[in-house]
Chain A
Amino acid sequence: MKTPVKKYVSFIALITLLALLVGVPGYMPSYTVILITNILMHVVLTLSWAIFSGPTGYISLASAAFFGTGVYASALLSSSLPLPIVIVIGGCASFILAFLVGSLTLRLKGMYFTMFTFGLVELVRNSLHWWEVNITGTVGRLIISADNKHIFYCMVGIFVSVLLISYLIKRSRFGLALESIGQSEEAAAHSGVNVTRVKAVTFAVSAFFMGAAGVTMSMRWTYIDPTTAFNIQFSFMPVLMAIFGGMGHLYAPITGATLFSLLEELLTTKFPYYYMLIFGLIMLAVIRFMPHGLEGGIEKWRKRVEKESPVKT
C-alpha cells in the first residue's frame, strides 16, 4: 500500500534527481556527461521494455530491432532535420513497425513469442543489409553528430517521457488490462478486454521509446552499419537489467539499469579481459539469491525489518 507520505517522498526524490541531471553538463567533465547519457539510454531501454514485458510476461527480444530502426532513421534524416524532430520520427517508425509485427505475432505465447522477436532483429538487420548492398550500394552510413550536451538533454527528455508514460499506464485502466493479460489472458478476453489490441498498442508504445533512444545514441557514433545499429546486445541488455532490478515498481528497472551500466563501465575499464566472466558470476548470484531482482531483495529485507519492529499504521 502506498501511503501519501511515501508518494510525497518519491516525488521529491524524483524532482531532485531531475534537477541534478539537468545541471550535469554545467559542472561535470564531458566524460561524466557521456557516461550518464549511456546510463540513461540503458534506463530508457529497460523502462520501455518493462512497459510491455513487465505486466504481460511476454519476454520480447525485439528491442534491438526498434533501437536500430531509430538509428537508421537518424542516418537518413539527421543531416536535414533538427534532432528533436528526428527523434520523434524515429520513434514513430519503431512504433509502426512494432504495431504491425505485434498485431501479427502477439498471438504467439511464451517461448515462441520470444524466439520470434529474436528472429525479427536478424530479419530486419539482414534485409536492411541486403537493401544497402544491392539497392543503395552502400555498406554503412555517416551520421552528422550533435554535441554531447545536446545529446544528453535529448536523452533526459526521453527518460522523463518514458517515466511519465510508464507511470500513467500503471495507474490507468489500460495498465489494469495489461496486468490481467499477464495473469490470465483468456479470462481477460472473456471479461471484455480486447487483448490483441491492448498488447499491440503497448508493444508499439514501448518500441517508440526504444526508437527514440536509438536516434539519440546514434549521434554519438558518426558511422553506422546494420551490424552496429541492430546489435543483439540491445535486445538482451534490457532483459538482464530488468531481471537485475526487478519490475514491480518503477524505481526497480531504473535502479537496476543504472547499477548495471555502472558495473559494466567499471568492469570494462578495470578488468577488460575478465569483464564478461565477472559479469556472468554477478548475474548468477543475483538470480540465485534475489530471484526478484534488487527490488525483491529490498522487499524481503523490509518485511523482515517490519516484522522485527512492528510499526503502527
Chain B
Amino acid sequence: MPILEGQGVTKYFGGLAAVFNVDFHVEQGEALGLIGPNGAGKTTLFNLISAALAPKSGEIRFKGRNITGLAPFKICRMGVARTFQTVKVFADMPVLNNVVLGAYFGMSPGMASADAIREATSILEFVGLSAVKATPAKDLTLANQKRLEVARALATRPELLLLDEIMAGLNATEVAEAMKLVARIRSQGITVIMIEHVMKAIMSVCDRIMVLHHGAKLAEGTPTEIATSKEVIRVYLGERKHAGS
C-alpha cells in the first residue's frame, strides 16, 4: 500500500485549474521528485496534501486513511510535515525554539520539555545548525533558514516530508550540502516528496519523478525516463532547437 495516494485531485483558483484531476502515489521510503514549469501547480499540490488548501474534488489518502479536508495541524500530527517555498521561519524566535515547537506539537504532543529540547538539539546537529541555535531565525542566511525549516519539520517526527524548493537560491556548495541532507533524511526511513528546479539534484536524489504542466500530470517515471521523454523536454526544458542554440 502506498504511504500517500491521491485520486482525481482538483483545485481551481477562480476559473483557472491550478491542479486538475491529478492521480499520484508515493511508496513507503521512496523519494518522489515533483517538477514542472512555474505555475504548473506543484506548490498547490503540496498545499492540498498538507491541507493548507482544500481540494474542490478528489481524495487524498495517507497510509490508507482519507485525510482530505482535515485541519493542517491534524495532518502534521499524523506524520506529514512540510517546508515552505518562501521560508516561513519564526523570525524573532531563537533557532532552537523554532525546532522545539515542532517537537512539542508534532507527532508526539505532550513530550516533556527536557525531551523536546534534547530532541531539537540533536536535530539541529543533524542538519548542521548547532552553532547558531541561540540566534534569532531572521538573522540566518537563506540557506540556513531553509535548513531550519527542514529541522522544524523533522522535529514533528514525520513519516512523510514535503520539501518545497529547499535548494532554490542556494549556491553550488549549499546545494551539495542540501542534497546530502536529503539523502541522510531518507536513510532514516522518511519518505520524501520534493519540488525542485535544480535538475542535477532532483535527478540524483529521487527514485521517481512526476511532471506537472498546467495543473495536469504530464509524465511520470524514473529520472532517466523523464530526462529522455520527448514531451517533457518539449514543455519543460524547451524545444530542442531553442535549447541547443
List the interface of chain A (C-beta within 8 A of B). 173, 176-177, 179-180, 183-184, 186-196
Contact = CB atoms under 8 A, between A and B. Distances in A.
Interface in B113-143: 113, 116
Interface stretch (B29-37, B90-98, B179-187): B90-98
Interface in B69-91: 71-73, 76-77, 81-82, 84, 88-91
Contacts of B84: 186-187
Given A173-B104, A177-B105, A189 B73 contact: yes
Contacts of A176: 93, 97, 100-101, 104
Nearest to A192: B105
A173 B91 contact: no
B10 to A, nearest CB: 22
Contact of B91 (A183, A188, A192): A183
B92 A183 contact: yes
Given A173-B104, A194-B71, 7 more contacts: A179-B97, A183-B91, A189-B76, A190-B50, A190-B52, A191-B102, A192-B73
Interface of B: 50, 52, 71-73, 76-77, 81-82, 84, 88-93, 97, 100-102, 104-107, 109, 113, 116, 149, 152-153, 155-156
Contact of B90 (A173, A180, A192, A196): A180
A192 B89 contact: no
B72 A189 contact: yes
By Cβ-Cβ distance, the 4 closest A-B pairs, closest first, are A192-B105, A183-B90, A187-B88, A192-B76
Nearest to B153: A191
Contacts of A183: 89-93
A120 to B, nearest CB: 25
Contacts of A184: 88-91
Contacts of B71: 189, 194, 196
19 contacts: A173-B104, A173-B105, A173-B113, A173-B116, A177-B105, A179-B97, A180-B90, A180-B101, A183-B90, A184-B90, A187-B90, A190-B73, A190-B82, A191-B81, A191-B105, A191-B155, A192-B106, A194-B71, A195-B73
A190 B93 contact: no
B52 A188 contact: no
A254 to B, nearest CB: 22
Nearest to B105: A192
A191 B116 CA distance: 14
A178 to B, nearest CB: 11
Given A173-B113, A184-B88, A184-B89, A190 B105 contact: no
Contacts of B149: 187
B64 to A, nearest CB: 21
A65 to B, nearest CB: 28
B110 to A, nearest CB: 9
Nearest to A194: B73
A3 B194 CA distance: 43
A195 B102 CA distance: 13
Contacts of B50: 190
Nearest to A183: B90
A291 B72 CA distance: 35
B97 to A, nearest CB: 6
Given A180-B93, A183-B93, A184-B89, A191 B52 contact: no
Contacts of A195: 73
A196 B105 CA distance: 14
Nearest to A189: B72
Contacts of B90: 179-180, 183-184, 187-188
Nearest to A1: B134
A192 B77 contact: yes
A195 B73 CA distance: 8
A253 to B, nearest CB: 18
A192 B52 contact: no
Contacts of B106: 191-192
A186 B105 contact: no
Contacts of B73: 189-195
A54 to B, nearest CB: 12
Given A177-B101, A184-B88, A184-B90, A190 B113 contact: no
A192 B156 contact: yes
A3 to B, nearest CB: 15
Contacts of B52: 186, 189-190
A266 B82 CA distance: 55
A57 to B, nearest CB: 11
Contacts of B82: 190
Contacts of B92: 179, 183
A187 B109 contact: no
